[in-house]
Structure 1
């Protein structure tokens, strides 16, 4: 990370400051972010998600990782399926309840990991599986103290304390593949980026798939 980027992240004092910096990184206006490979932006597969992710960051939800819903064949010729998913850190109780209530109402899977003393720690959910149905990646699950320090390296001490004891929420589409990308429409309604049009027949809250038991993936 360059000295200029390091100074920008170090200068953040509030969660709103942090969200704005994360949005600028997503937009390619900052080259590096804490806990990520230096001078490396978001993965190409998430390019179309940037407007949704930046809106979340500027609305008080700091995104930490995300992936779109995909299905296809990997570079090695093997089959894989991927759920749309995003992880966010939330430090405002009203915003947290609004996010969780909206996700539940839309039939999305929610996992909460609260790093306040005695906070709930829910189990991760498989978000990518191979052609044999075996889980490859997952969202949610406890973040160790060491990993938390790496993820937010270089932040102001007080801001680090705030985000390292915040609530991490993983929102996951129950469907594998592109059908799960309805999740991003739901989140756009949450932030106000998209307004409901009564004439629009597309209902992002409608799901043909019920949330699955995380133990089954």
Structure 2
């Protein structure tokens, strides 16, 4: 994979690529706050081991907006909780979108696409990602309303807001509940080349992928 394009200088950071690099710095603890999230709070502790994967996605041109690991066990309320590993992203580049979708479909992941372009496009229904004692609790995917979109990206420069609010929102969800679905992160690490370049990373294997033909 080509070296990720670096963002513009701070004073002209007004593209989705720039936002992705800033989001990566927030994930890694270098920035205290991000749009649409409680000020001066970092990622939830349960997603700490996902930070390398999420940051690599953000630097590759995607912008992650929400994620959760695969989990199955008793929650703090004493009930049985199950989660699918899942991530939501906004994509504004068509080539990146196709690359992401192709990798996810090839790995057997559940994909939901919601196109927010002004002329419409795919509008797929949400998929349940968390249950409590078998009852649905949360879902990923579905079209974002105008008011919620403004809250999610509050504070952005108008030009940047126009770009991300009309982008394509993609949810990638493991079909399995529980830890088995953590294979999702390996799929995404291969997409960004993190798995090849960082064999000490959390999803590392002992074998590097074969080099691409020139």
TM-score (norm 1): 0.85
Q: Does 1:119 align with 2:121?
A: yes
Cα distance in 1, alignment partners of residues 51 and 157 from structure 2: 26
Which residue number in structure 2 is paired with residue 48 of structure 1? 49
SS state at 2:160 partner? helix
Cα distance in 2, alignment partners of residues 57 and 199 from structure 1: 25
TM-superposition CA deviations, 1:41-76 (whole Å, max 9, x none): 000000000000000000001000000000101111
Cα distance in 2, alignment partners of residues 142 and 118 from structure 1: 11
SS state at 1:111 partner? strand
Which residue number in structure 2 is paired with residue 208 of structure 1? none
Which residue number in structure 1 is paired with residue 157 of structure 2? 156
Alpha-carbon contact 1:10-1:156 (below 8 Å) kept: no
Which residue number in structure 1 is paired with residue 131 of structure 2? 129
Gap change, CA 1:9 and 1:67, over 3 Å in 2: farther
TM-aligned CA deviation for residue 120 of structure 1 = 1.4
Which residue number in structure 2 is paired with residue 142 of structure 1? 143
Which residue number in structure 1 is paired with residue 27 of structure 2? 26
Cα distance in 2, alignment partners of residues 143 and 39 from structure 1: 25
Which residue number in structure 2 is paired with residue 88 of structure 1? 89
Alpha-carbon contact 1:10-1:155 (below 8 Å) kept: no
Alpha-carbon contact 1:27-1:50 (below 8 Å) kept: yes
TM-superposition CA deviations, 1:184-215 (whole Å, max 9, x none): 00000000011399974xxxxxxxxxxxxxxx
Which residue number in structure 1 is paired with residue 111 of structure 2? 110
Aligned residue pairs, count: 193
TM-aligned CA deviation for residue 9 of structure 1 = 9.1
- Please provide the CA RMSD for this pair: 2.1
Cα distance in 1, alignment partners of residues 10 and 127 from structure 2: 30
Which residue number in structure 2 is paired with residue 63 of structure 1? 64
TM-superposition CA deviations, 1:122-152 (whole Å, max 9, x none): 1000000111x11100000110000000100
Moved >4 Å (runs of 4+): 8-11, 196-200
